[in-house]
Amino acid sequence: MTRPTLWHQGWHAQATRQASPNFGPRPAEACIDLIVVHSISLPPGQFGGNEVQNLFTNQLDVCAHPYFEQLRGLQVSAHFYIRRDGQLWQFVSCDDRAWHAGASEYRGRSNCNDDSIGIELEGLEGGLFEDAQYAQLASLCQDIRQRYPIAHVAGHEHIAPGRKQDPGPGFDWPRLASVLDFPHRYFP
């Protein structure tokens, strides 16, 4: 029996696909060697709705909650989004450049969007994350590393210090490192 292909043109076969218009080509010289972990919930601290998916696809109703007004006109995306229950969504092909990092620098390179894969965890900056999210994140990181030359895994807080603080102190980096077979030097 033939195993189904896990990747097709940068899209993960096990993710729910919801294409975002917020992406662009990577520079020709880009080496996709960084995974960036983020956290997001909309509105902050509320889980389970479709607001994040709507934000990443420019469909967020900014009148639905007072917090959303500050997001009016914002065009952002991530490659992946992992819900509290472990559901995996994908918005941008990993072969393309998603708009998740903003002004950033890591491992001596600026503009981390150029050569990273962004993974958003449904959660509150600094809050705790669910077992299902860690399991899905670890599996996804392994799958990404099979296709791309990953050499670094960092948080948004590490690539944009002072500007961003996610996923924050509630994220258990040693836990993630312990379940991945990545060398210790890959982590912040």
Q: Which of 120, 122, 125, 157 is catalytic?
A: 120
DSSP labels, 83-128: -TT--EEE-S-TTSEES-S-S-EETTEE-GGGGEEEEEEES-TT--
Residue 155: C-alpha distances to residues 6, 14, 175 (Å): 25, 23, 14
As beta bridge partners, residue 117 has 35
51 in active site: no
Structure tokens at 167: 């996923």
Active site positions, annotated: 120
